[in-house]
Chain A
């Protein structure tokens, strides 16, 4: 039966394989993160845990590096002298870099997955299909940002003992052991936003979809939106910073512009733009 299906539709299957990926995107979800505004409060990370059913793994496993934190706050001591000897103001020399999956358009994780569990959606998202994942972990190894996390254990019972399981977000699954996972740009919210727009018979407009981290950020450092939407705030920010998709080297008219994408030189073409922190001299 299935062989018959394959033989009859061979040209279809063949074409699908040759033209892998997407060439015309419906959306291109992206972010702009202003590091000047980021205070490193970790609210985004907490919101992500709550929204995406991320398990809390406990101190020991976290220390072992087996935690799952789709959005992690990286702290760098880029100007260690600023804090001086003053214990109270040590953190003045630190800066913060909230890192979530960069949803690269030339994602290095996608071609290496043996079962094509990770792929690019017409929304410009780098999607992870939990059901298809066999846990070879090659994608995480090949992610230069190290933004993919693996379910080393089954956390369901430990992380959400009764009645905490009632707080789980019903819009997405709880992943079991042996599956890779990562930031989805709150794909369930994107879905909801698109459905609502469709019901009202209109296009998705800026502000329809807000990710949990962007919604929670107290200083509004994170801006989320559709980069194909000319009127979206995120598009305007990208334009103002002269950062463009599909360009590895950003030639800027003004050297003072702060926009950059992490590890741009690797030509992964990420969809998250950061605006550098400027310090008072």
Chain B
């Protein structure tokens, strides 16, 4: 069944109206959600204050578990940030137009998950107050960070990626901010006037805009891939079994895109429901996102399998022991849940009936991300539990302090996202207009009866999906 991504007969004014409406008059539910997010953040803040005062002890970390949930959740949030780049940059240069209504919030997600991820390496430091020593600032003593350390590469990669994706989000939003400026009053008008950088929408501006947007897209793609490769280097560059794995960079990138896509599905459904964006975030677009997620899930599964196979047939006794421990040891319940959520559950995305059923997809996408979070945990912790020195074998359960901070990170992300959707347009107005643009010149009843289809309509005759392209 082939249907149009969106109804091409939506009037431009209606697009403006719908999107601008979504930014106004927050309802009671919005404030409740925001308050809940702030409450979650407070849990984390209290835990962090306690940890800051007392030391890393209350987090339940121990010898040999020097890292645990903090680093796992850090990798999880970094991974989440890859979806925005995938949708807006990769799909932009391959001209997959269905990305247009949904890339804006995905990009915001990128930025906010990076802002969340960036907190964890700081929180997990034993001496937080000295964190700036990781940066190569000019010092009279001639002391530099250790450029051989993957943690320093992390610091560079994440700050670069965060800056670039913030810029990319902002640049892509300029024409929309101009629309907001023209329709706003009060503080909003002042804000949008500054942010829209005097956008008039003339030809010269559009030409420059297109050029810089494409350039940023081309710059961001290798950057995104390198960022998660570098994060994987935290593990791959080490000597520990289960970390010292050659396939880690592609494995991490695949996992990142995977969890990012799953999160896009979650937010897609939430926005569609709460902002009544049914006409923009349509079922066909949902289906395409699901198909993409399924493909990435299969790549991830494949990389998982070759990692197991390489360890098994590699006959490195320590790595093999660790693999066996993962399958049947104390971490086995989490490990199998991860494999179920990551490799079995995505098959629901392969069925059209399920793909088109929003509540199912909502639950599935949450479980996919649970699986991806567990994946990160199962990368970090079992290696520390069962490494080379059998005397140092140990099992630990993270304490409430760690759980509170992990829990709070979701509140932090949620709060940023909630603020975003009410201050900035979460659907790209000008690009959705591009999707309906072609139809506006063909206004004959005959053509309309032939081509006008609502999203989800059954196809009656020849394939109209490429019409007007």
Bound complex: CA A16 to CA B140 (Å): 15
**Interface residue? B149 (CB, 8 A):** yes
Enumerate chain A residues within 8 angstroms of B394, measured Cβ to Cβ. 65
Bound complex: CA A81 to CA B123 (Å): 48
**Interface residue? A281 (CB, 8 A):** no
**Interface residue? B462 (CB, 8 A):** no
> Contact: A136 with B239, CB < 8 Å?
no
> Contact: B125 with A136, CB < 8 Å?
yes
Bound complex: CA A125 to CA B240 (Å): 23
Write the A138-163 contact mask toward B (1 if CB under 8 angstroms, else 0): 10111011100111111000000000
Q: How many residues of B contact A (CB 8 A)?
A: 51
Of all chain A residues, the one with the shortest Cβ separation from B55 is A177
Tell me which of A110-118, A198-206, A235-243 binds B: A110-118
Please report whether the interface of chain A is mostly helix, strand, loop or mixed according to DSSP: loop
Write the A223-260 contact mask toward B (1 if CB under 8 angstroms, else 0): 00000000000000000000000000000000000000
Enumerate chain A residues within 8 angstroms of B239, measured Cβ to Cβ. 108, 142, 144, 266, 268
Bound complex: CA A168 to CA B67 (Å): 31
Bound complex: CA A3 to CA B126 (Å): 30
**Interface residue? B387 (CB, 8 A):** yes
Write the A104-146 contact mask toward B (1 if CB under 8 angstroms, else 0): 0000100111111000000000000000111111101110111
> Contact: B149 with A112, CB < 8 Å?
yes
> Contact: A144 with B387, CB < 8 Å?
yes
Enumerate chain B residues within 8 angstroms of A141, measured Cβ to Cβ. 64, 66-67, 238, 240, 384
Of all chain B residues, the one with the shortest Cβ separation from A108 is B239
Write the B202-239 contact mask toward A (1 if CB under 8 angstroms, else 0): 00000000000000000000000000000000100111
> Contact: B55 with A115, CB < 8 Å?
no
Enumerate chain A residues within 8 angstroms of B332, measured Cβ to Cβ. none
Enumerate chain B residues within 8 angstroms of A177, measured Cβ to Cβ. 54-57, 126-127
> Contact: B238 with A112, CB < 8 Å?
yes
User: When A116-B146, A135-B56, A140-B64 are in contact, do A146 and B155 touch as well, CB less than 8 Å?
Assistant: no
**Interface residue? B391 (CB, 8 A):** yes
User: When A111-B146, A132-B133 are in contact, do A138 and B151 touch as well, CB less than 8 Å?
Assistant: yes
Chain A interface residue count: which class?
35 or more
User: When A141-B67, A145-B388 are in contact, do A152 and B55 touch as well, CB less than 8 Å?
Assistant: yes
**Interface residue? A99 (CB, 8 A):** yes
Bound complex: CA A136 to CA B239 (Å): 17
Question: Which of A65, A76, A114, A268 has the largest count of B CB atoms less than 10 A from its CB?
Answer: A114
Bound complex: CA A6 to CA B126 (Å): 30
Of all chain A residues, the one with the shortest Cβ separation from B126 is A135
Enumerate chain B residues within 8 angstroms of A132, measured Cβ to Cβ. 133, 143
User: When A134-B134, A145-B389 are in contact, do A150 and B63 touch as well, CB less than 8 Å?
Assistant: yes
> Contact: A116 with B62, CB < 8 Å?
no
> Contact: A3 with B125, CB < 8 Å?
no
B316 to chain A minimum Cβ distance, whole angstroms, is 10
> Contact: B63 with A140, CB < 8 Å?
yes
Of all chain A residues, the one with the shortest Cβ separation from B384 is A141
Which residues in window 145-181 of B have CB below 8 A to A? 145-152, 155
Bound complex: CA A135 to CA B127 (Å): 6
Bound complex: CA A64 to CA B152 (Å): 30
**Interface residue? B392 (CB, 8 A):** yes
Enumerate chain B residues within 8 angstroms of A66, measured Cβ to Cβ. 57, 62-63
> Contact: B140 with A1, CB < 8 Å?
yes
> Contact: A266 with B388, CB < 8 Å?
yes
**Interface residue? B138 (CB, 8 A):** yes
Of all chain A residues, the one with the shortest Cβ separation from B61 is A152
**Interface residue? A61 (CB, 8 A):** yes
Question: Which of B124, B126, B237, B387 has the largest count of A CB atoms less than 10 A from its CB?
Answer: B126
**Interface residue? B65 (CB, 8 A):** yes
B232 to chain A minimum Cβ distance, whole angstroms, is 14
Enumerate chain B residues within 8 angstroms of A152, measured Cβ to Cβ. 55-57, 61-62
**Interface residue? B25 (CB, 8 A):** no
User: Could you list 23 A-B pairs, sorted by A, with CB under 8 Å?
Assistant: A2-B139, A3-B138, A6-B142, A13-B142, A65-B62, A112-B148, A112-B151, A114-B146, A114-B151, A134-B134, A135-B127, A141-B64, A141-B67, A141-B240, A144-B388, A146-B387, A146-B391, A149-B63, A152-B61, A153-B55, A178-B56, A178-B125, A178-B128
Given A17-B144, A180-B126, 10 other A-B contacts at CB below 8 A? A5-B142, A65-B394, A72-B391, A112-B148, A114-B134, A136-B125, A138-B151, A141-B67, A146-B392, A150-B126
* 6 smallest beta-carbon distances between A and B, as pairs: A135-B126, A178-B126, A65-B62, A177-B55, A152-B57, A137-B66
